[in-house]
Chains A and B, each alone.
Chain A
């Protein structure tokens, strides 16, 4: 049973918790609009030049839509049965070969190899795939809003930051150090 009158997500609750919590509750549209309205009023009061084209006494209530969207409706879902991380070893005209590590089983070593059709990639990923690219491959059940359930597979290239010059230099130094230690042994 949900307490309909509980003060969840009110303006003051959110104000009090903003500074400390990392719980992923999105603030309500009412809260956002209140923030904007407060900001707007403060600027009017202090004569900010950012609002000087708005006539005094503007009706804040009329600015925002009456009917607010529902951000949390039940949507289609994808339930993951198995997930792998892979890196691309080679690419041919129609397929690519990759080494895979099982993420679901928390396996750190790429102990499997597989070929994938390039057609399985989204267009954006297809244009940027190259040897060494890292990706996630998931298989699971995809459920449509109508309730239809299909077995599905999805490949997504990871979008990680480029190595910086500093990081590359450090990696080279580390590699040289390890190579030197191996030679000594």
Chain B
């Protein structure tokens, strides 16, 4: 990516049926998925029936709900997160019914100043097309100007999956405080057909292992297209 991100993370989301209460750092350590060092630096936020949330140092956050398993890291190499999810559901919980996988890439980056960010917003979502309302969006005073809040684009014609899509969202970054920040989220979404749902976690973990590196590379390429706008506005 041509601009060094200020904040950078990968989030893997599985949709299926999960028993949240077993997802405790000690369970991961007992199954050799987390190390003893990881266990020592873990911090449980909530583990109750239906919901589990814990962190491991700065590298991992896991949240489990009855229908979703979410694992996040902001520390490269990101493949470490893929390995954790793969080992969890390919070795320890192979019979868990999982039907959907999302490999999400989140990046916050600065384009230098607010003016450049506003120009990029107008390039992505021109205000003129809003007709007479466009003038109201722009506002009378600079400090009260409006503009693009969120834009989402989706690719459905993909040749590496039977069902799924790639979706990219661009928004102003709430993390970068001087108004120069842009947030891009890429959701790389895979689903398996109902006919394949009988084999638990096998199909989805196969997809994860096969696609993870390509997905990250492609997401960074998509994000780079948005970064390139800095030079074009």
Name which residue of chain B comes closest to A83, CB basis. B77
**List of A residues within 8 angstroms of B145 by Cβ:** 1
Within 8 A of B (CB), among A119-140: 122-124, 136, 138, 140
A67, B176: Cα distance in complex, Å: 22
Does A71 interact with chain B (Cβ within 8 Å)?
A: yes
Within 8 A of A (CB), among B21-54: 32-33, 35-37, 45-46, 48-51, 53
A3-B149 in contact given A39-B48, A79-B5 (Cβ < 8 Å): yes
Does B200 interact with chain A (Cβ within 8 Å)?
A: no
Q: How many Å from the CB of B148 to the closest CB on chain A?
A: 8
Q: Which interface class (under 10, 10 to 19, 20 to 34, 35 or more) fits B?
A: 35 or more
Contact in complex: A22, B80 (CB < 8 Å)? no
Does B206 interact with chain A (Cβ within 8 Å)?
A: no
Q: Is the interface of A mostly helix, strand, loop or mixed?
A: loop
A27-B175 in contact given A36-B46, A106-B217, A158-B79 (Cβ < 8 Å): no
Contact in complex: A27, B63 (CB < 8 Å)? yes
A162-B91 in contact given A19-B67, A23-B13, A36-B48 (Cβ < 8 Å): yes
A39-B49 in contact given A18-B67, A22-B104 (Cβ < 8 Å): yes
Contact in complex: B13, A24 (CB < 8 Å)? yes
**Which of A27, A78, A158, A159 is B76 in contact with, Cβ under 8 Å?**
A78
**Which of B87, B149, B214 is A1 in contact with, Cβ under 8 Å?**
B149
Contact in complex: A154, B77 (CB < 8 Å)? yes
**Which of A26, A124, A136, A160 is B87 in contact with, Cβ under 8 Å?**
A160
Does B113 interact with chain A (Cβ within 8 Å)?
A: no
* Residue positions of B touching A, CB distance < 8 A: 4-8, 11-15, 32-33, 35-37, 45-46, 48-51, 53, 58, 61, 63, 65, 67-68, 70, 72, 74-77, 79-80, 83-84, 86-87, 90-91, 100-102, 104, 106, 108, 145-149, 167, 171-172, 174-176, 185, 187, 189-190, 213-214, 217
> 17 other contacts beyond A32-B46, A124-B35, with CB at 8 A cut-off?
A1-B147, A1-B149, A3-B149, A18-B65, A20-B100, A21-B13, A22-B187, A24-B13, A36-B46, A76-B58, A77-B5, A77-B7, A80-B76, A158-B80, A159-B32, A159-B80, A159-B87
